[in-house]
Chain A
Amino acid sequence: MSTAWGRSVPETFGGRVIGSPEGADVRRAILHSDMNAFYASVEQAERPELRDVPLVVGGREETRHGIVLAKSARAKEAGVKTGEALWEARAKCPGLVTVPPRYDVYRRYSELAQGIYCQYTDLVEPFGLDECWLDLTGSLSLSGGDALRVATEISERVKAELGCTVSVGVSWNKVFAKFGSDLRKPDAVTAVTPENYRRLVWDAPVGDLLYVGPATRAKLHSSGIDRIGELACASPELLRRRLGKVGLVLRAFARGEDATPVAPFGTVRGCRERPIKSVGNGLTCPHDIDRPEDAKALVYLLAESVAQRLREARLRASTVAIGVRDARDLASYGRQTTLPRATSATGLIARTAWELLAASEPLDGSHPLRGLHVRASNLEPGDAPQQLDLGFDARRRMLEELDETIDDLRRRFGNACVRRGTELLDESLLDVDVKRDNTVHPEGWFG
């Protein structure tokens, strides 16, 4: 374990601090708390009759969102996997009970759990609804000085107060803390210490490390690296050649040199600190789209939400992009175009997106589509000065005023109070409120 490697690792990458020259600060007390089978556990906590049955939370099959979102321990025992179709899950596990997701309830439980964490430290960084990092380094002396004891207390409190179990990992860095919480489930506390990490972490398959997915694992395997310990001891040059800069980051992760701080509660990246880079909405349609009018209805529905969100954020976009998912092989592709002038007008964004789609898809029944996505990027502030045309376009100003009026109506009476005629052509979309159902998911570490 020489220290020569320390100089070759960049100190920051993608906003992350890694491999500080002095080496990692092993005195930090970082906890990673992961609520086990979150959606299923919340359903079981809310409805005791579901506690002893194999349970999955799944999307609505009639709208073709019928996949397993979360599974209970008993469903897991029967071999049910997250992400598989509900009919596959039922075939594996007769008597399986399926319930639809209730995101408002899950969000409430998530906030309640975060409320418990915040009683121990202000450095609480959520990672999705069910996971959180906590940095207890500064506040540990207030709660007894023993991180493991605090972890056990948190675990017991969540169980008693919410009726859900958590697994907690305790370590000196975020990556090993997460590894610890994944190591033993459910309802366990695992410490990854400088004394035991070589045994606990380094023996594990490299795919267990945060951010080593199937593609990276395959590349590492071809270099003879299958265990996290082998990644930790691999030559930086080899990793840089095989994986680029990320290789060095992963190596630092494997060595426990991740020094990234835990963000204070309420300031997670992507929520407040980082500027919005694009606004997009997508939808898997309840039926395959093979008619131009259905496609147009969906494009307008999505563009409507995108444009409204742009205006709410006081932004204008110059680039409009669409994403298309084929119904037969589920392959996706994207197309984009840049407008001569930035806009937030619904009509303009919708028309541009529709033209993009019409130019790339025949929509004659030969290529049915499963889903569509409309995205606006290349953003600028809504009040940024704009170059005016020599020929004054009064219609443009009128469209903007119309949008403002419609926004105002929707604020007061709901998103469905004013709809475009195009959107009414596809009856299956009548109940869909893209904007209301929009969820901004947590972004990855490499943002």
Chain B
Amino acid sequence: MVRGIAGRRKRYVEVEATFLENGSVVPRAVVWGDGRRFPVRAVFGVRACASLKTGGEGVRYDVLVGRARTFLFHERPRWFVEEIVLEGGDV
């Protein structure tokens, strides 16, 4: 059965990142709470931005993780994603 998206919630995550010589930070992988590691395949854009879906603000990375294009926020010092909450309560 296909279930719709009920909403989003702010989920802080572990991130592996590279700190470049010019000071910029490039996320390389998102590590989920259960230990699964999702490599960041591409970064399409970086900008300071508020998260309208889950609240809060930070540096927003527009990234490709697996086949999904999503946002990764650097809230200084923590990182968060806008986690999908499916109808019925599952994630």
Q: Name A's B-contacting residues (CB within 8 A).
A: 45-48, 109, 112, 159-164
In angstroms, Cα B57 to Cα A46, docked, is 8
Q: When each residue 33-52 of chain B gets 1 if its CB lies under 8 Å from chain A and 0 otherwise, what string results?
A: 00000000000000111111
**B83 CB, nearest partner CB in chain A, Å:** 13
Interface residue SS majority, chain A: helix
B54 in the interface, Cβ–Cβ < 8 Å?
yes
**Is there an interface contact between B50 and A45, defined as CB atoms closer than 8 Å?**
yes
Which of B51, B53, B55, B57 meets A112, CB within 8 Å?
B57
Q: Which 5 A-B pairs have the closest CB atoms?
A: A163-B50, A161-B48, A46-B55, A48-B55, A47-B55
**Is there an interface contact between A160 and B50, defined as CB atoms closer than 8 Å?**
yes
Of the listed residues B48, B51, B54, the one surrounded by the most CB atoms of chain A closer than 10 A to its CB is: B48
**Is there an interface contact between A161 and B55, defined as CB atoms closer than 8 Å?**
no
List the A side residues contacting B48 at CB < 8 Å: 161
List the A side residues contacting B55 at CB < 8 Å: 45-48, 163
Which residues 7-63 in B have Cβ within 8 Å of A in the complex?
47-57
A-B contact pairs, 12 of them (CB 8 A): A45-B50, A45-B56, A46-B55, A47-B55, A48-B52, A112-B57, A159-B50, A160-B50, A162-B50, A162-B57, A163-B50, A164-B50
List the A side residues contacting B49 at CB < 8 Å: 160-161
**Is there an interface contact between A163 and B54, defined as CB atoms closer than 8 Å?**
no
20 further contact pairs, Cβ within 8 A, besides A48-B52, A48-B53: A45-B55, A45-B56, A45-B57, A46-B55, A46-B56, A48-B55, A109-B57, A112-B57, A159-B50, A160-B49, A160-B50, A161-B47, A161-B49, A161-B50, A162-B50, A162-B57, A163-B50, A163-B51, A163-B57, A164-B50
**A377 CB, nearest partner CB in chain B, Å:** 40
List the B side residues contacting A47 at CB < 8 Å: 55
**B10 CB, nearest partner CB in chain A, Å:** 9
List the B side residues contacting A163 at CB < 8 Å: 50-52, 55, 57
List the A side residues contacting B47 at CB < 8 Å: 161
List the B side residues contacting A46 at CB < 8 Å: 55-56
The closest CB in chain B to the CB of A43 belongs to: B55
**Is there an interface contact between A161 and B52, defined as CB atoms closer than 8 Å?**
no
Which residues 45-85 in B have Cβ within 8 Å of A in the complex?
47-57
In angstroms, Cα B49 to Cα A164, docked, is 11
**Is there an interface contact between A48 and B54, defined as CB atoms closer than 8 Å?**
yes
**B56 CB, nearest partner CB in chain A, Å:** 6
In angstroms, Cα B50 to Cα A109, docked, is 11
The closest CB in chain A to the CB of B53 belongs to: A48
**B59 CB, nearest partner CB in chain A, Å:** 9
In angstroms, Cα B59 to Cα A112, docked, is 12
List the B side residues contacting A162 at CB < 8 Å: 50, 57
**B58 CB, nearest partner CB in chain A, Å:** 9
**A160 CB, nearest partner CB in chain B, Å:** 6
In angstroms, Cα B50 to Cα A159, docked, is 8
**B81 CB, nearest partner CB in chain A, Å:** 15
In angstroms, Cα B59 to Cα A161, docked, is 9
In angstroms, Cα B78 to Cα A168, docked, is 32
The closest CB in chain B to the CB of A158 belongs to: B50
The closest CB in chain A to the CB of B52 belongs to: A163
The closest CB in chain B to the CB of A46 belongs to: B55
In angstroms, Cα B18 to Cα A99, docked, is 39
In angstroms, Cα B52 to Cα A163, docked, is 7
In angstroms, Cα B52 to Cα A47, docked, is 9
In angstroms, Cα B52 to Cα A161, docked, is 10
The closest CB in chain A to the CB of B56 belongs to: A46
List the B side residues contacting A112 at CB < 8 Å: 57
**A154 CB, nearest partner CB in chain B, Å:** 13
In angstroms, Cα B49 to Cα A161, docked, is 4
In angstroms, Cα B57 to Cα A48, docked, is 12
List the B side residues contacting A109 at CB < 8 Å: 57
In angstroms, Cα B47 to Cα A101, docked, is 28
In angstroms, Cα B50 to Cα A48, docked, is 11
The closest CB in chain B to the CB of A164 belongs to: B50
The closest CB in chain A to the CB of B51 belongs to: A163
